[in-house]
Amino acid sequence: MPDIPAFADKAAKAAYVGRMFDRIAPRYDLMNHLMTGGRDRAWRRQVARLTALPPGGRVLDVATGTGDIALTLARCYPGAQVAGIDFSLEMIQAGRSKFTAPDLGERVVMMAGDALRLPFPNDSFDAAATGFALRNVTDIPLAFAEMLRVVRPGGRVVCLEISRPTLPFFRSLFGFYFYRLVPWIGGLVSGQKEAYTYLPNSLTDFLTPQEIKTVMESVGWREVRYWRLMLGTVAIHLGVKGA
């Protein structure tokens, strides 16, 4: 399989990933639905439910992209205030049309920003969520530490991420699909085969769900647990901020 690009430092990776998401923004949602067979919608609903927002709560969607998790949160919790933050302006622009309805536009704010330097005071939100983002940040512990900082005591973080399957018979099938077919489909649908080669290959040396759990605990999240879905190809992590 093609290698992921060799980055000189974290800043180089951040710049590359930012440009890549700017390029794939117009067809990003379509490709997500195609790659997951539409299951990504159900996973996002599960993420929203696990945030367990109180009535009128505030929730942050980190690396919101085109805002699908933010939208799901707003629909799941009609009284909630939702903030979505992403470092790709093109992704944010591509998602703005999802929030034109008055009931959504008044409650959802989409903004540019860095997951490693969240522009919010301590204890600003009742929960934080993130989806398909960890493989693209340059400092995963810092990302979890920043979410911990801005979530109030007792609040939750919920993380949705791709995972390597563990069942031997399925691992080969998944590898063929994810590393061979996805780049081809991505090139056909979006014209960005390089991006859809990088995205699968970013999983190759990525953390296991257990390692993500360990990272979350190391920065202070408590009661950390996770669930593996779709024969282990997706994991959802949940953590709680202590009092």
Going by C-alpha positions, the residue among 54, 24, 14, 239 that lies closest to residue 148 is 239
pLDDT at 98: 95
State the amino acid at position 185 in one-letter form: I
Q: What does the alpha-carbon distance between residue 243 and residue 237 come to, in Å, rounded to a whole number?
A: 20
- Which two tokens mark 126? 């009742």
Name which residue leads in pLDDT, 31 or 144: 144
Mean pLDDT, to the nearest integer, of 203-217?
Answer: 96
Do 191 and 182 touch, CB atoms closer than 8 A? no
Say how far apart CA 110 and CA 86 lie, in whole Å. Answer: 8
Structure tokens that stand for 170 in this block: 């399925």
Given a cut of 80, whether residue 226 has pLDDT beyond it is yes
Would the pLDDT of 18 be above 80?
A: yes
Contact 17, 136 (CB under 8 A): yes
- CB count, 10 Å around CB of 25? 21
Q: Is the pLDDT of residue 63 over 60?
A: yes
Minimum mean pLDDT range among 32-36, 48-52, 116-120 = 32-36
Confidence of residue 4 (pLDDT cuts 50, 70, 90): low
Q: Where are the beta strands (DSSP E) in the chain?
A: 58-62, 81-86, 108-112, 125-131, 151-162, 221-229, 234-241
pLDDT score, position 201:
87
pTM higher than the cut 0.85: yes
> CA 27, CA 234: separation in Å to the nearest integer?
22
The pLDDT value given to residue 1: 44
- DSSP annotation of 1: -
**The predicted structure's pLDDT at residue 10:** 87
Instruction: For the chain, count helices (H), then strands (E).
Output: 11, 7
pLDDT tens digits for range 97-132: 999 998 999 999 999 999 999 999 999 999 999 999
| 217 closest CA partner among 161, 106, 150, 140 | 140
Rounded to whole angstroms, how far apart are CA atoms 228 and 212?
13
Closest CA to 2 of 189, 196, 186: 196
Task: pLDDT band for 5, please (50, 70, 90 cuts).
Answer: low
What average pLDDT does the segment 76-91 reach? 97
How far is the C-alpha of 195 from the C-alpha of 140, rounded, in Å?
21
pLDDT confidence band for 218 (50 / 70 / 90): very high
**pLDDT of amino acid 166:** 87
Q: What is the pLDDT, as a whole number, of residue 9?
A: 81
CATH class of 10-163+206-241: alpha beta
Instruction: Tell me if 49 sits within 8 A of 80, measured CB to CB.
Output: no
DSSP 54: P
Residue 6 confidence (pLDDT): 64
pLDDT 10s digits, 134-176: 999 999 999 999 999 999 999 999 999 999 998 888 988 999 9
The helix/strand/coil state of 56 is: coil
Whole-number pLDDT of residue 7: 74
Give the residues across from 83 on adjacent strands.
60, 109
- Residue-level pLDDT at 76: 97
pLDDT band with cut points at 50, 70 and 90 for residue 213: very high
Cα 220 versus chain centre, distance: 20
